[in-house]
Structure formats: C-alpha cells, structure tokens
Amino acid sequence: MRPLGEDSAPQMARLDPRVSRLRYRLERLMLTPLFRFTLRVVLPMAISFGAVSAWFAVPENREGFVTMVEDVRLQVESRPEFQVKLMAIDGAAPGTAEDIRTILALDFPVSSFDLDLDGMQEAVIGLDAVRSARLRIRQGGVLQVDVVERIPAVLWRHEAGLDLLDEGGVLVGPAPARIDFPDLPVIAGESAELAVAEALALHAVAEPIRGRLRGLERMGARRWDVVLDRGQRILLPEAGAVQALERAIAMDQAVDMLARDVVAVDLRLPHRPTIRMTEKAAEAMRDFKAIEAGGVIGQ
C-alpha cells in the first residue's frame, strides 16, 4: 500500500487535533459575514465616534477646539503671501476713482481672505459713473480694479438741474454747466430720459442744422420737438420722427424754410406738413394775397 496523503498534505487540511467547543463556536462566529462586518467596520467606527463625542461633550474641550481652529485660521490668513497692500484702479476718471476708494473704504494691509470681492464688485458697479468693473487680487498683493466708465451721451435738463445720461439713458452724473459739454445734445421734457436712443438718432440726423439746434423736448412723454434758436420748433410725429426730421431739413435746404419767419414746422401729420408763421408774417402774407388778387392795400 502506498502512504496515505503524505505527499499531498499541503493541499488539504489533514488534522488530528482536538477543537474545543468554545474555539469552534468562536471560529464560526468569525466566519459569519455580518459579524465580521460589524467587527471590522461598525465597531471601530462606533468606538471612534463615541470617543470623539465624549471628548466634545465637555464644554472646555469644545471651546479649546474652536479656539485652536480660529488660531490656525488666523495664522494662515495673516501670512504675508495672503496680504493685500494696495489698490490699483484702471480705466476710471480721477473723480470716479476717488468715489471708488471712498465706497470700498479699505484700510490696507488686509488679508485676502477678508475681502468680499463679489460684494465689492457690486458696490463699485452701483456707482453711477461705472458701467462694469472687474476686481481681482494680483500677484504681489495688489487689489486690481478694472473699471469701464459710462460715457455721457446727452444732457438732461429737468426740475432738479442738469444731469449727464449715457446712450442707454442711465445717469452718469451731474453736469456743472451746459457750456462744459458743448457737443452733447440737451433733452428735456416729460420722460425724456426714457427715449435717449431716439434723441441721439435725431441729433445725428440734425447735422445740417446743428448750429441752430438748441435741444430736443419730449412732448407728453410720447413725441419729440426739435427746438431751434429764435423760438422755432419742429414738431415731430410719434412714429417715424427721424424721417420727418430729415424731411424738414430737406425742405429747409430746398426753400430755406427755417430762415424765414416761421414759428413752428408741424410734421405731426406726415401727409400734411403745416407751418405756423408769426403774426406779422401772416399779415404780410394776407396783404400779398390781396395784392395778387388785385385789391388795394389797406381797404
């Protein structure tokens, strides 16, 4: 006979030892998946969680922990790498830059963690003279503020005084005097600031009569009057105002209409332009009509 299992012993457990009941039960318990999971995962987690909770249950520990966190935070924040030392403002006029410095009101040096860039950007954009702004912290601890200013397009005369508006009708700032902005048109009247775009279009069309133009007046919050010197007015319709003004200018160039003694050119009805003359001119015209008809002057 050949020896049993001596050559193949490593392949199979060939045991003769005695296994005690306790050990057997313990081993079976250890082979139970749920128990093993509990022992390996749940128990360590429970112990660590419990220990941490117990430690935090003491108020002094909790305070000490919070203080430590604050300390570390402060240490990191006050490192020179994170310090912002000065502010650079690009693209703003000196007055606007001064305003920005005033509203941001930062006293340098300040940690970059304390800067609320979004809030500061909103504050800067909230200024009248600023159209858009970008804030970033540049290398070397510089708070860079890039500003695009609003460009004044019209002067707006109203009850409170004279203001500058941009082409969207947004307030840019107060204008000290009309004479400071000679090439900007003046608008006035009810709700004139809401139709700035149309006013600018009219102003562009009115190039030939620029020398006589005094301003544009919004009538009844719906249509424009072009006000010239000598009290003359061109009354424009609600729709097609630009075409109507072009027409008036064409008439002026053709028959030199505006140089004559008219008070107003009424283009509100497109198919029937009307001219209002001064009292004297009207009388003179009636005399001429009578003479032409063969009558006698002064009859």
Rounded CA-CA distance 45/71 in Å is 29
Provide the 3-class DSSP secondary structure of residue 49: helix
Q: State yes or no: residue 4 binds another protein (CB under 8 A).
A: yes
Binding window for another protein (CB under 8 A); candidates: 21-29, 127-135, 205-213, 223-231: 21-29
Residues 88, 147 contacting (CB under 8 angstroms)? no
Nearest CA-CA partner of 163 in 194, 186, 191:
186
Rounded CA-CA distance 128/115 in Å is 23
Q: State yes or no: residue 32 binds another protein (CB under 8 A).
A: yes
If the CB atoms of residues 23 and 40 are measured against another protein, the closer one turns out to be 23
Residues 113, 82 contacting (CB under 8 angstroms)? yes
Q: State yes or no: residue 27 binds another protein (CB under 8 A).
A: yes
CB of 31 to another protein, least distance (A): 4
List the one residue from 17, 80, 94, 140 that touches another protein (CB under 8 A): 17
Q: State yes or no: residue 9 binds another protein (CB under 8 A).
A: yes
If the CB atoms of residues 17 and 140 are measured against another protein, the closer one turns out to be 17
Q: Which residues pair with 155 in a beta bridge?
A: 164, 186
Strands 86-90, 142-149: pairing kind: parallel
Query: What is the dihedral sign for C-alpha 226, 232, 237, 243?
Result: negative
Q: State yes or no: residue 22 binds another protein (CB under 8 A).
A: no
For 105, the token pair is 């009101």
Q: State yes or no: residue 8 binds another protein (CB under 8 A).
A: yes
Q: Between 238 and 257, how does the x/- string for binding to another protein read (CB under 8 A)?
A: --------------------
Q: State yes or no: residue 139 binds another protein (CB under 8 A).
A: no
If the CB atoms of residues 25 and 136 are measured against another protein, the closer one turns out to be 25
Rounded CA-CA distance 217/241 in Å is 13
If the CB atoms of residues 23 and 286 are measured against another protein, the closer one turns out to be 23
Which residues lie near another protein (CB under 8 A)?
1-5, 8-9, 11-19, 21, 23-25, 27-28, 31-33
